[in-house]
Structure 1
Amino acid sequence: MKMTTVNCPTCEKEVIWSPESPYRPFCSKRCQLIDLGEWADEKKVIAGNEDDVMSLDLDTK
């Protein structure tokens, strides 16, 4: 049976997708924290339209 692998989103290293890889899809805690920092610094965002009906429900202040 072939093991499922993915590439780490941070460093592109191949990671086996299994319980033995606790940081999957990341290869390490370091890469996981780098990614988290990029979200916190708003270097990564989820694209969306500010005029979307649901956005009126958000408190932007």
Structure 2
Amino acid sequence: QIAHDESTVLSIHDQAIEVMRAQGLRMTIEEEQVALNLFPKAAGLARRIHDASPLNEKFKQLI
């Protein structure tokens, strides 16, 4: 599972970088590292919101 998740993230990461480059956007290595560090945090927050009923209901109301 972990190996699959890592390969999926890298694949999505590579696709996102290609889309950005096609639009003329460039990131430094430092900016790329910051962005990659945000992915697991955002995924963890989404999982906690999904798993917590009151938060999930409130989130659904907001979106």
TM-score normalised over the length of structure 1: 0.25
Task: Say which structure is richer in helix.
Answer: 2
Greater C-alpha Rg: 1
Higher RCO by CA contacts (8 Å cutoff, separation 6 or greater) = 1
